[in-house]
Amino acid sequence: MKTLTLKIDDSINDKFTWLLKHFSQDEIKILEQSEYIDDDTYLRSIAGMTESIYIARNEPIQNGVTLENLEW
Protein backbone atom coordinates (compact mmCIF):
# COMPACT_ATOMS: atom_id res chain seq x y z
CA MET A 1 0.00 0.00 0.00
CA LYS A 2 1.26 3.51 -0.84
CA THR A 3 1.02 6.60 1.37
CA LEU A 4 0.17 9.87 -0.32
CA THR A 5 -0.01 13.41 1.05
CA LEU A 6 -2.34 15.81 -0.75
CA LYS A 7 -3.20 19.47 -0.41
CA ILE A 8 -6.88 19.79 -1.37
CA ASP A 9 -8.51 23.11 -2.17
CA ASP A 10 -11.47 23.95 0.07
CA SER A 11 -13.70 24.35 -2.98
CA ILE A 12 -13.48 20.63 -3.82
CA ASN A 13 -12.94 19.11 -0.38
CA ASP A 14 -16.52 17.83 -0.07
CA LYS A 15 -16.41 16.25 -3.52
CA PHE A 16 -13.04 14.66 -2.85
CA THR A 17 -14.21 13.23 0.48
CA TRP A 18 -17.34 11.90 -1.26
CA LEU A 19 -15.12 10.16 -3.82
CA LEU A 20 -12.93 8.56 -1.15
CA LYS A 21 -15.98 7.18 0.65
CA HIS A 22 -16.77 5.07 -2.42
CA PHE A 23 -13.76 2.86 -1.70
CA SER A 24 -13.62 0.24 1.04
CA GLN A 25 -11.42 0.80 4.10
CA ASP A 26 -9.20 -2.00 2.82
CA GLU A 27 -8.56 0.03 -0.35
CA ILE A 28 -8.16 3.55 1.06
CA LYS A 29 -7.72 4.77 4.64
CA ILE A 30 -7.63 8.40 5.72
CA LEU A 31 -4.71 8.39 8.14
CA GLU A 32 -4.70 12.05 9.09
CA GLN A 33 -6.54 15.26 8.30
CA SER A 34 -5.14 18.68 9.05
CA GLU A 35 -5.07 22.22 7.78
CA TYR A 36 -2.09 23.03 5.58
CA ILE A 37 0.53 25.30 7.12
CA ASP A 38 3.69 26.48 5.44
CA ASP A 39 7.09 25.22 6.60
CA ASP A 40 8.00 28.43 8.43
CA THR A 41 4.78 28.41 10.48
CA TYR A 42 5.22 24.71 11.25
CA LEU A 43 8.81 25.14 12.46
CA ARG A 44 7.87 28.15 14.58
CA SER A 45 5.15 26.04 16.24
CA ILE A 46 7.72 23.58 17.65
CA ALA A 47 8.70 24.56 21.17
CA GLY A 48 12.30 25.78 21.32
CA MET A 49 12.87 25.68 17.54
CA THR A 50 13.37 29.42 16.97
CA GLU A 51 15.58 29.70 20.05
CA SER A 52 17.81 26.87 18.82
CA ILE A 53 18.15 28.59 15.43
CA TYR A 54 19.19 31.85 17.09
CA ILE A 55 21.78 29.96 19.15
CA ALA A 56 23.09 28.14 16.07
CA ARG A 57 23.46 31.45 14.20
CA ASN A 58 25.89 32.65 16.86
CA GLU A 59 28.03 29.53 16.66
CA PRO A 60 31.43 30.11 15.02
CA ILE A 61 31.68 28.91 11.40
CA GLN A 62 34.73 26.82 12.36
CA ASN A 63 32.44 24.58 14.44
CA GLY A 64 30.39 23.72 11.36
CA VAL A 65 30.55 20.49 9.38
CA THR A 66 30.96 20.51 5.61
CA LEU A 67 28.41 18.70 3.48
CA GLU A 68 30.78 15.88 2.52
CA ASN A 69 31.48 15.19 6.22
CA LEU A 70 27.85 14.82 7.26
CA GLU A 71 26.90 11.36 8.44
CA TRP A 72 23.67 10.48 6.64
Q: Which domain does 34 fall in, by range?
A: 10-60
> Which amino acid would we find at residue 19?
L
Residue 31 is assigned to a structural domain of this protein: yes
Residue 65 is assigned to a structural domain of this protein: no
Q: Is the pTM of this model over 0.75?
A: no
Q: Are 36 and 7 in contact (CB under 8 A)?
A: yes
pLDDT along the chain (72 residues), means of 10: 87 94 91 84 91 88 86 80
- Number of compact structural domains in the chain: 1
Residue 40 is assigned to a structural domain of this protein: yes
Residue 72 is assigned to a structural domain of this protein: no
Residue 3 is assigned to a structural domain of this protein: no
CA 69 to chain centre: 26
User: CB under 8 Å to 7, separation ≥6 — which residues?
Assistant: 36
Residue 56 is assigned to a structural domain of this protein: yes
Residue 36 is assigned to a structural domain of this protein: yes
Residue 43 is assigned to a structural domain of this protein: yes
